[in-house]
Amino acid sequence: MTMLNPAMASLSTFLGRPNSRAFEARPLIGRAPAPWILRARRDEAPSLLCRAAAAAATVAAVATAKTSRTSKLGWKKKKADPWERKKQFDKENAQWPTKESLLDFLNSKKAAAHPGQWARAVRHCGRRGWWEVLHEAPQARPSTCFQVSTVATALVDCIGKAPKVLQAERKDKALTLLGALWRDMELEKATNEDQLYALSSSLNLCVLLGTDRALAWADQLWEWSEEETDTSKNEVVWSTYLQLQETQGRFDTVNDVLMRVFVERKIKANSQMLTALLELAAQRRDWKRAEDLWHILVDSLHVEPNLLARGAFAKAYFMAGRLTSAEELLAGEADKMSYRLGNDYLQILLILCHSSPTKSNLEKLKEFVERNRTVKRYGGAEGEWRRMTDLVLRLTKEVGAPLRLREVLVTRKARCSAMMRWTDQPMGACYAK
């Protein structure tokens, strides 16, 4: 498949006319349509983030992307160990302790010759939140699918690290940067599978950005991929597309893809797909939509839900204040929970006991705390556990003044849930559903 790239046009053409819109779809010259690039404003020239991608713009980058495609595009991935992640992060901190040291590496010949190391450096930059470093890298060479995915990941991390007052601005810039990378990509040198790899990463970033501009661009990117990529899309790409539709409230489209397109194209839904869609429903506190998704994927398509999927379904109930349903989903998994899910389950039990301090509720609460007392926790999870166990002591021993509802809402999820808008009920008011 031959693809012509509008990026080969002059920079002035890319910047657009003075009265041109900041964002518009533009077709490719020739028979193949463009992968829908972003046309930047004149005062919003393509950021030098494209230059950060220069160090890996080599044939070796493409080769690396091809050889590792199975791990990148497949669901089968080794479970991350928090200790291993911390060790890797500490190692990278030692290698690039400052912004200057990381920028020097990105400018070096070593980074240009070793795309894998370049990718680690860019991702580390994202995890550290060094947004400005991504704009100070050297002049870019033509980008690759491998670079698009790497930079998209770094952008997500950088936005997450930014103060809330800066996030809106960074989201807009991130989308412009992503469009610039697509504009500069030599699509005629990329295989269909490489393009799908870049497509999945780009769609994922757009879903996480969640702005109207990002979602509209993602829709256009998908339309291009349906017309111009011959390779069958795998579960990862379809999962990202479903998340894109679910984010925009296109539930009928999601249902149709799952029940019709998946059957026609013989695509197998999986628990990761289920988890991702349930998480989106949970963020909206839409427990009814979560039930619909569970019915389609588990009951109709026979997806075997794993613990993460059950946790996401329980979260949808919990965020909507349906505590009994959330507890019933997780009750049989108490011995298998991660420390984060364990905290969430303790929060559910704590609120249920506050609502109805029956003997059975209190015994279940104390038993769970005792069984998980020695579990290793990280970051803020340790503080949350400690605060909740202190409240358990007050509930069971009747120590101190009687607790009210707001006092037992400890975890971040609880404080973002519908329960924060409930009346501040006293203990024993039987308010929980």
Gap between the Cα atoms of 175 and 157, Å rounded:
14
User: Residue 118 domain-assigned?
Assistant: yes
Give the tens place of pLDDT for each residue, 96-149.
Answer: 778 888 888 887 888 778 888 888 888 888 888 888 887 765 344 557 888 888
189 and 45 co-located in one domain: yes
Cα 137 from chain centroid (whole Å) = 26
Average pLDDT, stretch 317-329?
97
**Does residue 282 belong to any structural domain of this protein?**
no
Q: In this predicted model, what pLDDT tens digit does every residue of 49-78 receive, in sequence order? A: 333 333 333 333 333 333 344 433 343 444
Which among 254, 229, 50, 37 has a CA at the least distance from the CA of 136?
50
Q: What is the chain's mean pLDDT, rounded?
A: 79
Same domain, 347 and 203: no
Q: Is residue 73 part of a domain?
A: yes
**In this structure, are 68 and 200 located in the same domain?**
yes
Asked if residue 277 belongs to a domain, the reply is: no
Q: Are residues 45 and 186 in the same domain?
A: yes
Q: Please name which of 393, 408, 365 lies closest in space to residue 419, comparing C-alpha atoms.
A: 408
Query: Rounded mean pLDDT of 352-375?
Result: 94
**Which of 152, 183, 214 lies at the terminal end of a domain, its last residue?**
214
Contact between 194 and 62 (Cβ < 8 Å): yes
Of 173, 195, 214, the residue that ends a domain is 214
Q: Quote the Cα angle for 196-188-225, to 5°.
A: 35
Q: Is the pLDDT of residue 249 over 80?
A: yes
Of 261, 275, 357, the residue nearest 310 (C-alpha): 275
Token duo for residue 255: 């249902």
Domain of 394? 330-421
- Specify whether the CB–CB gap between 140 and 50 falls below 8 A: yes
**Pair 197, 49 in one domain:** yes
pTM above 0.95, yes or no: no
CB atoms within 10 A of CB 420: 13
Judge if 209 and 340 occupy the same domain.
Answer: no
Q: Of 153, 183, 214, which one is at a domain's C-terminal end?
A: 214
Question: Is position 243 within any domain?
Answer: no
Is position 318 within any domain? no
Average pLDDT value for residue range 181-207: 84
The number of domains in the chain is 2
Any domain includes 65: yes
Q: Specify if 223 maps to a domain.
A: no
Write out the DSSP string of 30-96. SSSPP--PPPPPGGGPPPTHHHHTGGG-SHHHHHHHHHTHHHHHSS--PPPPHHHHHHHHHHHHHHS
Q: Which amino acid is at 107?
A: N
